[in-house]
């Protein structure tokens, strides 16, 4: 499998050392202690905190809204009694599951292209916060104790990319059946296209000025398309399948619902980038790209482009973007049969930490 980083050398940093290394869309990294921790204590940047299954969690600060017993998110998405875990390997297995789930969410709405070891460290920190009820904790999980976690996360995110492309292919077949068959959209099998020149001309119209992102666009009737970018039902159709699938309990919006309400513009940008890369492959009559380092580098460039476009759009017309994101959010939550009015309340520190990097 193509790797974005080397895992031959085991990391020695504690989770605490890197749990605020958050990659921004521009590719820069930020290292910052969360306010609710920095106010409570001073931590050496390279310190390792050893812990076992009985490691106590620090007391919750006054601004935490929930305790381990009452936190609704613990009951809904982390229904696991850590106090019953007697063996370290069982505890670590559960921590790995939480970290991989976190990575899936992080890849969709924060930064799919971030260093996998950094995502692993962030995920382990979230596992520790789950164990301690999402309050300040002693960070008992050390990244060095999970030598395969970064590779597991890379495999998970590669699978996520496959899921996104499959969802996009199916959505294209549904919306433009006169142009796309399952063989074409999913397998890039162009052998049964009767008039390739005409078909390629239609694909080029999709790509021209990003018309595929406009609602009601059809290359045969291009003047009927909405002038509003990022308004295409194609986006919400793909997002619904990828993050809100009610038949898959692992889908991120079912595990982290508040982080998808409203839909982050980073999620819109990522899905837009993947669909664009697929259309460009179709235009060249070549197989769909997925795993190569060079392919991911190009996908990252597309992602940055669409993220920037969404940010500019938001600056120019905040109300319209707000309305657009609400419409996408409503459709996605309806697809997943999740009621936004009944979402569990996230502890302030966690929600703020993630929102600070996705918007």
- The predicted pLDDT at position 17 comes to 36
Q: CA-to-CA distance for 313 and 297, rounded, in angstroms? A: 24
With 90 as the cut, is the pLDDT of residue 267 above it?
Answer: yes
Comparing CA positions, the residue from 133, 119, 127, 128 lying closest to residue 98 is: 127
Q: Which domain holds residue 197?
A: 157-358
With 90 as the cut, is the pLDDT of residue 291 above it?
Answer: no
- The predicted pLDDT at position 358 comes to 56
Q: CA-to-CA distance for 138 and 167, rounded, in angstroms? A: 40
The tokens for 164 are 């996104």
Cα 335 vs. chain centroid, distance in angstroms?
18
Residue 5 counted as domain residue: no
Comparing CA positions, the residue from 330, 338, 339 lying closest to residue 262 is: 330
Q: Are residues 149 and 175 in the same domain?
A: no
Average pLDDT for residues 309-314, to the nearest whole number? 95
DSSP letter (8 states) at residue 60: P
- The predicted pLDDT at position 309 comes to 96
Q: CA-to-CA distance for 201 and 188, rounded, in angstroms? A: 17
pLDDT grade for 342, boundaries at 50, 70 and 90: low
Residue 330 counted as domain residue: yes
Comparing CA positions, the residue from 50, 69, 78 lying closest to residue 144 is: 50
Which residues lie below 8 Å from residue 232, measured CB to CB, with a gap of 6+? 212, 213, 214, 215, 217
Average pLDDT for residues 252-275, to the nearest whole number? 92
The domain total for the chain is: 2
Of the given ranges (52-61, 176-185, 247-256, 265-274), which has the lowest mean pLDDT?
52-61
Q: Are residues 165 and 191 in the same domain?
A: yes
- The predicted pLDDT at position 250 comes to 73
Average pLDDT value for the chain: 75
Residue 45 counted as domain residue: yes
Residue 242 counted as domain residue: yes
With 50 as the cut, is the pLDDT of residue 16 above it?
Answer: no
- The predicted pLDDT at position 290 comes to 65
Cis preceding-peptide flag for 262 (omega within 30 of 0): yes
With 50 as the cut, is the pLDDT of residue 34 above it?
Answer: no
Of the given ranges (39-48, 93-102, 281-290, 311-320), which has the lowest mean pLDDT?
39-48
């Amino acid at each position: 499998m193509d790797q974005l980083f080397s895992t031959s050398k085991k990391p020695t940093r504690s989770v605490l050392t890197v749990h605020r290394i958050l990659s921004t869309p521009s590719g820069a990294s930020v290292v910052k202690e969360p306010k609710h921790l920095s106010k409570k204590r001073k931590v050496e940047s390279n310190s390792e905190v050893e812990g076992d299954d009985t490691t106590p969690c620090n007391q919750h600060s006054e601004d935490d809204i929930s305790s381990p017993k009452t936190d609704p998110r613990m009951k809904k998405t982390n229904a696991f009694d850590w106090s019953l875990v007697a063996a370290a390997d069982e505890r670590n297995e559960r921590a790995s599951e939480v970290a991989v789930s976190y990575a899936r969410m992080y890849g969709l709405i924060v930064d799919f292209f971030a260093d996998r070891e950094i995502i692993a460290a962030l995920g382990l920190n979230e596992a520790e916060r789950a164990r301690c009820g999402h309050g300040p904790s002693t960070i008992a999980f050390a990244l060095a104790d999970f030598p395969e976690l970064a590779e597991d996360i890379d495999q998970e995110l590669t699978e996520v990319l496959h899921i996104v492309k499959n969802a996009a292919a199916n959505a294209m077949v549904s919306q433009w059946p006169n142009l796309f068959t399952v063989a074409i959209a999913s397998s890039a099998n162009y052998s049964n296209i009767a008039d390739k020149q005409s078909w390629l001309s239609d694909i080029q119209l999709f790509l021209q000025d990003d018309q595929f992102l406009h609602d009601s666009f059809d290359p045969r009737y291009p003047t009927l398309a909405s002038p509003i970018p990022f308004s295409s039902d194609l986006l919400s159709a793909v997002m619904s399948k990828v993050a809100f699938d009610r038949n898959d309990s692992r889908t991120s919006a079912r595990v982290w619902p508040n982080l998808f309400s409203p839909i982050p513009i980073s999620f819109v940008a990522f899905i837009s980038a993947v669909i664009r890369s697929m259309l460009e492959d179709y235009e060249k009559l070549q197989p769909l790209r997925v795993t190569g380092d060079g392919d991911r580098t190009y996908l990252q460039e597309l992602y940055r482009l669409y993220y920037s476009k969404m940010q500019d759009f938001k600056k120019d017309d905040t109300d319209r973007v707000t309305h657009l994101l609400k419409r996408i959010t409503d459709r996605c939550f309806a697809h997943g049969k999740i009621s936004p009015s009944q979402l569990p309340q996230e502890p302030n520190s966690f929600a703020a930490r993630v929102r600070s990097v996705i918007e």
